[in-house]
Amino acid sequence: MARVLITGSSDGLGLAAGQRLIDQGHEVVLHARSDARADDTRGAAPGAAAVLVGDLSSDEQTRALADAANASGRFDAVVHNAGVGSGSAGLLAVNVLAPYLLTALLRRPDRLVYLSSGMHRSGRADLAQLDHPSYGDTKLIDAALAAAVARRWPDVLSNAVDPGWIATRMGGAGAPGGLEEGAATQVWLAVGDDPGATVSGRYLKDLREERPAPGVTDERFQDALLDELARRTGVPLPE
């Protein structure tokens, strides 16, 4: 049995992944941005071990969430699922700064999974644009962060996932993919033990590795990204 934390899991892909892991017998801690949404999450996933609360658009609440997660015990896997879409407030904070901060502040797990997107291919590997990123920029950064962490922490399996275009609140009702399909790869990477699930530094979709945009695998960009995120948050990634 693995112990798994999933951010942004009050609905959509995060909740679907959590429910699937609970059904498999794992200890799952979910996350919601408010007390009201946490109550809804407990009703939707009564088998969850806990539902932690924290608004990831807030630096203070993100740090408090890390403290609460650490106080609950070490996780075997953390799935950085939380995200907001184009035009949303807090795009940089939720999609980029929060997963970095949680990575740096949480007790180091065995596995890390970061939600990227096929839209990362329209993103720019340009830190000068970081104050006003597009959604694609943030998803490229998430994939690059996964690769950077894989290099810095060789004892941790760290990967990025494109869940596909899924019918969620963000993806819209007209999206062709379903929740089970969209959650499958991150569940597999979080707890799977076959060779395909025990890789690191990869970008995957539909249980298969894909080649990401060139900026994702650029080690100079990865290192510059870690330096910039450490500067902005005041929290370096531990060695």
The tens place of each residue's pLDDT in the chain, 239 residues long, gives 999 999 999 999 999 999 999 999 999 999 999 999 999 999 999 999 999 999 999 999 999 999 999 999 999 999 999 999 988 889 999 999 999 999 999 999 999 999 999 999 999 999 999 999 999 999 999 999 999 999 999 999 999 999 976 656 665 566 656 778 899 999 999 999 999 999 999 999 999 999 999 999 999 999 999 999 999 999 999 99
In sequence order, the 6+-apart residues with CB closer than 8 A to the CB of 95 are 83, 84, 133, 135, 138, 139, 141, 142
Is 238 domain-assigned? no
Is 63 domain-assigned? yes
Q: What is the 3-state secondary structure (H, E, C) of the chain?
A: CCEEEECCCCCHHHHHHHHHHHHCCCEEEEEECCHHHHHHHHHHCCCCCEEEECCCCCHHHHHHHHHHHHHHCCCCEEEECCCCCCCCCCHHHHHHHHHHHHHHHCCCCCEEEEECCHHHHHCCCCHHHCCCCCHHHHHHHHHHHHHHHHHHCCCCEEEEECCCCECCCCCCCCCCECHHHHHHHHHHHHHCCCHHHCCCCCEEECCEEECCCHHHHCHHHHHHHHHHHHHHHCCCCCC
Of 139, 10, 218, which Cα lies nearest the Cα of 18? 10
Query: Rounded CA gap, 209 and 197, in Å?
Result: 10
Assign residue 170 the CATH number of its domain.
3.40.50.720
Q: Provide the pLDDT for residue 180.
A: 83
Is 99 domain-assigned? yes
The parent domain of residue 72 ranges over 3-233
Query: Rounded CA gap, 79 and 158, in Å?
Result: 10
Q: Provide the pLDDT for residue 67.
A: 98
Q: Provide the pLDDT for residue 168.
A: 67
Environment class of 48 (CB within 10 Å of its CB; exposed 0-12, middle 13-18, buried 19+)? buried
Q: Provide the pLDDT for residue 178.
A: 72
Is 212 domain-assigned? yes
Q: Provide the pLDDT for residue 3.
A: 98
In sequence order, the 6+-apart residues with CB closer than 8 A to the CB of 46 are none
Is 203 domain-assigned? yes
- Which residues are part of the catalytic machinery? 135, 139
How many domains are contained in the chain?
1
Q: Letter for the amino acid at 230?
A: A
Is 68 domain-assigned? yes
Q: Provide the pLDDT for residue 179.
A: 78
Is 239 domain-assigned? no
The answer to whether residues 35 and 16 touch, using CB atoms and an 8 Å cutoff, is no
Q: Provide the pLDDT for residue 169.
A: 63
Is 177 domain-assigned? yes
